[in-house]
């Protein structure tokens, strides 16, 4: 997207409406910055993850006092990571490694610009709720960004596994986020059964309710993330990347926007094919027709231009 004529200028102007410096100053003043002297164990995990994922620069990591388990990556020009004490207390060391790797995936993939934009636009929409036309226009943009945001979370779960090289720690993290710290009371097999039951609801109406429940959310539900990550590891993509088979950063200039669009469309189609949700089945034909038209459009436009992708990392899915 950043290679499209004018898009980068528009993106920077929008991002420039909000100061990265103010965000960083806020956490610099109200949180604890990890270092060799403060939260040294988490800081070492940050250094390890940055080295494994080959980040050009190690971002700052802040620990924020908040009982709600959460982690986020903010900032456009110089992204930084924030983890709440609720999440620190909930997870063990290997699970911390997964979470930090997940956030480093956002940094590496350039997600922070769009995530920060969504953060500010959501706040702006709240202030403009009284102004119907402006609010509706913003909500359309926000809805699109939220869908992208949810997909970016799935991608960065993969980055977290690549950084930790421990799929079991990733599974435990997602179960704890859903059910709390009592890991002895949790079962990966049963949690996966929940995910399958959630996917295969018996009624079209429940499928519609699932879609409605996703509106306004930035993260897929824990069982969905668990199932997607389990499928990715089981299909062998994880082992393929560990073996060294993935796109290299030096080849980014040769990547085409059309190819990226086709890959995204294929990913959606594969997801629909795996789903047993009757509502997904109902709309699948319409959606695939739309995707097919989009493939032809983007293939014609970007195949002729031969533009590059916006990838900034060493692997395709992180």
Nearest 5°: the CA angle 37, 107, 301 is 170
Q: Answer whether 242's CB lies under 8 Å from 165's CB.
A: yes
**Cα–Cα distance for residue pair 156/220, rounded to 1 Å:** 12
**Cα–Cα distance for residue pair 269/291, rounded to 1 Å:** 9
> Is 60 one of the annotated active-site residues of the chain?
no
Compute the residue count for the chain: 318
Q: What element of type H or E holds 117?
A: helix 112-127
DSSP state of 251: G
**Cα–Cα distance for residue pair 20/88, rounded to 1 Å:** 25
| Sheet strands (E) in the chain | 32-33, 61-64, 71-74, 80-84
Q: What tokens were used for 79? A: 């992204």
List the catalytic residue out of 103, 146, 153, 228. 103
Please state the three-class secondary structure of 4-52 as a single string.
CCCHHHHHHHHHHCCCHHHHHHHHHHHCEECCCCCCHHHHHHHHHHHHH
Q: Answer whether 308's CB lies under 8 Å from 252's CB.
A: yes
SS3 61: strand
**Cα–Cα distance for residue pair 259/303, rounded to 1 Å:** 8
**CB within 8 Å of 195: residues ≥ 6 apart:** 223, 224, 226, 227
List, by residue number, the catalytic residues: 103
């Amino acid at each position: 997207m950043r290679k499209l004529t004018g898009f980068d200028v528009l993106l920077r102007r929008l991002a420039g409406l909000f100061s990265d410096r103010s965000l960083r100053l806020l956490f610099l003043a109200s949180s604890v910055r990890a270092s060799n002297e403060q939260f040294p164990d988490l800081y070492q995990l940050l250094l390890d993850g940055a080295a494994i994922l080959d980040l050009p620069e190690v971002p700052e990591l802040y620990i924020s006092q908040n009982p709600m388990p959460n982690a986020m990556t903010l900032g456009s020009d110089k992204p930084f990571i924030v983890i709440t004490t609720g999440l620190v207390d909930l997870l063990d060391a290997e699970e911390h490694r997964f979470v930090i790797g997940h956030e480093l995936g956002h940094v590496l993939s350039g997600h922070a610009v769009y995530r920060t934009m969504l953060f500010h636009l959501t706040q702006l929409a709240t202030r403009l709720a009284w102004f119907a036309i402006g609010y509706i226009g913003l909500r359309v943009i926000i809805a699109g960004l939220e869908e992208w945001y949810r997909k970016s979370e799935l991608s960065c779960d993969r980055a977290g596994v690549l950084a930790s090289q421990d799929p079991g720690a990733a599974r435990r993290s997602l179960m704890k986020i859903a059910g709390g710290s009592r890991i002895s009371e949790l079962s990966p097999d049963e949690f996966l059964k929940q995910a399958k039951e959630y996917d295969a609801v018996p009624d079209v109406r429940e499928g519609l309710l699932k879609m409605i429940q996703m509106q306004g959310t930035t993260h897929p539900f824990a069982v969905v993330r668990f199932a997607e990550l389990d499928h990715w590891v089981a299909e062998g993509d994880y082992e393929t990347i560990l073996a060294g088979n993935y796109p290299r950063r030096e080849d980014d200039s040769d990547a085409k926007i059309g190819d990226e669009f086709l890959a995204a469309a294929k990913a959606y189609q594969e997801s629909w094919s795996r789903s047993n949700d009757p509502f997904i089945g109902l709309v699948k034909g319409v959606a695939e027709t739309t995707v097919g038209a989009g493939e032809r459009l983007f293939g014609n436009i970007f195949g002729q231009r031969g533009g590059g992708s916006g990838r900034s990392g060493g692997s395709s899915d992180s």
